[in-house]
Copies of this chain bind each other. A is one copy, B any other.
Amino acid sequence: MKIGVLGSGQLGRMLALSAYPLGHQMRFLALSEDEPSSLLGKTFIHNNNPEILKNFADSSDIVTYESENTDVTIVNKINQNTKVYPSDKSLYISQHRGREKALLDKLKIPCAPYQMVNSLDDLKRAIKSIGIPSILKTATDGYDGKGQFLIKSEIQLYEAWENMSGVESILEGFINFKRELSLIAVRGIDGSLAYYPLVENSHHEGILRLTIAPAQNISESLQKRAEGYMSSLLNEIKHVGVLTIELFESDSGLLVNEIAPRVHNSGHWTIEGAQTSQFENHIRAITESPLGQTTSTKKFSAMINIIGVHGPIQKALKTKSAHLHLYDKEERTGRKLGHITITSNSIDDLNQSIDNLKEYLP
């Protein structure tokens, strides 16, 4: 099939690398001809010319997107003639923290306490009910920790609200979590489901730096509980493709933090670490093919992000059981330039390889 991707970043790039072996062809709606996916299919430069959008859609049998910040009006326009998976519903919910939380409430999936905030007065009221510390976040457009303000004291309320630049926001209770986990799953058009194991994520300055897969010391019942939340969500929105939920493991149990209706940085380890990668399973789902096995290929995997600078690439190429994945992006502070996956049946070997690459970790 001809698969169109709205966006042409590293996620589109890795979707392409897994789609070609399945016999598909790729098209990208891009902002320029110098993006991570540009050489991996036909690129249509999106310059607000409706003709370009039409050509992109007409040249695709099916369209998907790589970001929850994708413009829903574009999705709806394409949807008139070309199927878009996941649907606009997945996008509509996940691009607004308020709608996301409302869905979690509806499905009785635990999450942090929250209140919507549209003014400083709202914020003052919300703080009274939610307490301190808490986090004020823009309702839309946040990623990698951007658009967030941690409120540690009531004297910060004005500053916090100023920081939101007046846009609709949400105040969330601060969760004193033990660790951050994520669960990635895929749902086929026929409703079939497949789950990857819970993984443990370490962030620094809001950016994911390290994922360990599977997360260690996870009971079967915890994995099942997370899968239960996932299946409720996937089935409620009739999601087609991969979906990711970020979770906090806390004293009060497992809390859902965020939903991403797409392949996710914390699932990059699956390229080598799982029988079928998240990228291949997303492609399988949206092309109405059977889902692939999500079993791990090795007992342990680790994924280290390459952030800002490329660092000691030759060393990465020499590190035992390591796989390099670069995105062909220019170096820039805080930018995701690539990642390295390490897979091993020995936790000692895994840790030794991680240690060997410690220059990549904060």
Residues of A bordering B, CB below 8 Å: 13, 17, 20-23, 25-26, 39-42, 275, 284, 289-290, 292-293, 297-298, 313-314, 317-318, 320-321, 323-328, 338, 343
Contact = CB atoms under 8 A, between A and B. Distances in A.
A20 B293 contact: no
B21 A39 contact: no
Contact of A25 (B41, B284, B317, B328): B328
Given A39-B26, A40-B40, A297-B297, A21 B324 contact: yes
Given A26-B39, A297-B297, A317-B284, A21 B292 contact: no
B314 A293 contact: no
Contacts of A284: 317
A293 B321 contact: yes
Contacts of A40: 20, 39-40
Interface centre among A20, A297, A323, A338 (most CB of B within 10 A): A20
Contacts of A41: 39
A26 B338 CA distance: 18
A25 to B, nearest CB: 6
B39 A275 contact: no
Contacts of A289: 314, 317
Contacts of A324: 21-23
Given A13-B20, A289-B314, A321 B25 contact: no
B23 A39 contact: no
B275 A290 contact: no
Given A39-B42, A40-B20, A293 B317 contact: no
A179 to B, nearest CB: 29
A317 B338 contact: no
Contact of A21 (B21, B42, B326): B326
A316 B320 CA distance: 31
Contacts of A321: 275, 293
